[in-house]
């Protein structure tokens, strides 16, 4: 087998470990914690189904690929909960190191391509990355809402933090923010699942 | 919220259940059984990374989407193990029923689009669907091989069945079949992980 194919297979096997990185979000039906691979799959399908609501025209293939690879770095860096202030301080350093190690398993051209795509997602300055962030926020929101807001209650999350995080949702899709995100947040504040602040 | 968006969100929440459909394949590192959502995610990323080996030019966006949605029917129909002869007899009937119920949660245009894509995958007559099948075979193969062929041993699978299943791999990528699939099968026969017949 040539070196290029060997590297591509090594990377393919390595990313299997993403299935062991668990998140704070629980599956619908009050299920177990979700892992990063499942979350990424779910985001990518949702991006395709909901693409008509993106604020700007998006290359949906690029959005889907971004969704699929955006959490690979967590194989080394672990999942950082959106409301974990201590973890968030060191997140970038941990993820940069992971990014170098994991994507360097690939041939150079693919290493460069996927790192650029990951960086584009992180910066959230393009139409595609903004819509991918909308999905990154919306996917756990609909799961958590379907479970009566139990993830927010468990972590005693306050409303200012939820609104702060969800700002990115509107940058990718104002319509999803207005018609889905904001009503869900308001309802969960009213029910006491999100602490009002 | 309008009816169209409501339907798209209902579908998005429904497919969360795919994370509870477990397969016979085990994760690398002799891990737990893999579920369909993880398998689909892994296949889609691998399709992108390995696209240069497809026998024909492929629309990689379509291949990835096919990978992502090809097992949604198993939410109702369950996973049918590739070497379960009894299960295989009723698989099509069970999956057709599931396909109608689940994709009908979507607006009509998206229902038609995803059913057409699922049917295209099943027929395996286009370049995209053949390459998606290559990934559907290769992904569990590399996991199983990394675990010393334990999934084959556990099910006492014989070589003729493995070769029969893997024929589809070559239809999508002769190079992957020749350089990866066949050598892995031969090595596992030699080691006694696959029963020689």
Query: How many angstroms separate the CA atoms of B50 and B180, rounded?
Result: 12
Query: How many angstroms separate the CA atoms of A182 and B71, rounded?
Result: 32
pLDDT for the residue B197: 83
Mutate to test the interface with B, among A41, A73, A108 (most CBs of B within 10 A): A41
What's the maximum distance between 2 C-alpha atoms anywhere in chain B? Answer: 60
DSSP E strand stretches across chain B: 22-26, 33-35
Query: How many angstroms separate the CA atoms of B69 and B185, rounded?
Result: 28
Tell me the nearest-neighbour CA distance from A44 into chain B, angstroms.
Answer: 8
Mean pLDDT of the region A58-69 = 98
Mean pLDDT of the region A140-151 = 97
**Residue A81, pLDDT above cutoff 90:** no
Query: How many angstroms separate the CA atoms of A162 and A168, rounded?
Result: 11
Work out the mean pLDDT of chain A and round it to a whole number: 96
**Eight-class DSSP state of B158:** B
How many interchain CB pairs under 8 A, A with B? Answer: 124
Give contacts of A31 with chain B, Cβ < 8 Å.
19-20
Tell me the nearest-neighbour CA distance from B191 into chain A, angstroms.
Answer: 20
Q: What band does A170 get if pLDDT is binned at 50, 70 and 90? A: very high
Q: The dihedral of CA B196, B175, B60, B43: what is its sign?
A: positive
Verify whether the Cβ–Cβ distance B53 to A183 is below 8 Å.
Answer: no
pLDDT for the residue A82: 80
Query: How many angstroms separate the CA atoms of B8 and A61, rounded?
Result: 19
Verify whether the Cβ–Cβ distance B106 to A8 is below 8 Å.
Answer: no
Report the residue from A8, A16, A35 with minimal CB separation from B50. Answer: A8
Is the pTM here over 0.90, yes or no?
Answer: yes
Q: The dihedral of CA B49, B55, B60, B66: what is its sign?
A: negative
pLDDT for the residue B85: 86
**Eight-class DSSP state of A23:** E
How far from each other are the two terminal CA atoms of chain A, in whole angstroms?
60
pLDDT for the residue B83: 80
Verify whether the Cβ–Cβ distance A64 to B65 is below 8 Å.
Answer: yes
**Residue A40, pLDDT above cutoff 90:** yes
Verify whether the Cβ–Cβ distance B15 to A45 is below 8 Å.
Answer: yes
- The distance of Cα B16 from the centroid of its chain, to the nearest Å, equals 17
pLDDT for the residue B87: 87
The helix/strand/coil state of A144 is: helix
Residues of chain B under the 50 pLDDT cut: none
Question: Residues 6 or more apart from B80 whose CB is under 8 A from it?
Answer: B74, B87, B88, B91
Q: What band does A78 get if pLDDT is binned at 50, 70 and 90? A: very high
Verify whether the Cβ–Cβ distance B42 to A142 is below 8 Å.
Answer: no
Report the residue from A50, A146, A183 with minimal CB separation from B13. Answer: A146
Radius of gyration of chain A (CA): 17
Q: The dihedral of CA B91, B96, B101, B103: what is its sign?
A: positive
**Angle subtended at Cα B133 by Cα A20 and Cα A114, rounded to the nearest 5 degrees:** 50
**Residue A21, pLDDT above cutoff 90:** yes
Chain B 11-50, CB below 8 Å of chain A: which residues?
11-13, 15-17, 19-20, 27-29, 31, 34-35, 37-38, 40-42, 44-46, 48-50
Strands A33-35 and A22-26: antiparallel
Report the C-alpha dihedral over residues A110, A37, B45, B35, rounded to 10 degrees: 150
């Amino acid at each position: 087998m040539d070196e290029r194919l060997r590297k591509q297979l090594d990377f393919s096997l390595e990313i299997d470990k993403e299935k062991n990185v668990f998140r704070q979000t629980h599956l619908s039906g009050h299920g177990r914690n979700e892992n990063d691979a499942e979350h990424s799959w779910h985001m990518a399908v949702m991006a395709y189904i909901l693409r008509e609501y993106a604020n700007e025209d998006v290359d949906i293939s690029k959005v889907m690929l971004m969704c699929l690879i955006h959490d690979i770095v967590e194989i080394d860096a672990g999942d950082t909960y959106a409301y974990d202030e201590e973890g968030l301080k060191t997140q970038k350093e941990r993820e940069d190191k992971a990014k170098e190690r994991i994507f360097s398993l690939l041939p150079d051209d693919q290493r460069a391509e996927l790192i650029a795509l990951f960086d584009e997602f992180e910066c959230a300055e393009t139409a595609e990355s903004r819509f991918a962030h909308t999905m990154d926020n919306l996917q756990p929101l609909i799961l958590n809402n379907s479970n009566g807001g139990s993830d927010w209650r468990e972590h005693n999350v306050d409303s200012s933090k939820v609104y702060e995080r969800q700002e990115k949702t509107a940058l990718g899709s104002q319509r999803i923010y207005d018609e889905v995100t904001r009503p869900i947040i308001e309802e969960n504040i009213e029910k006491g699942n999100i602490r009002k602040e």
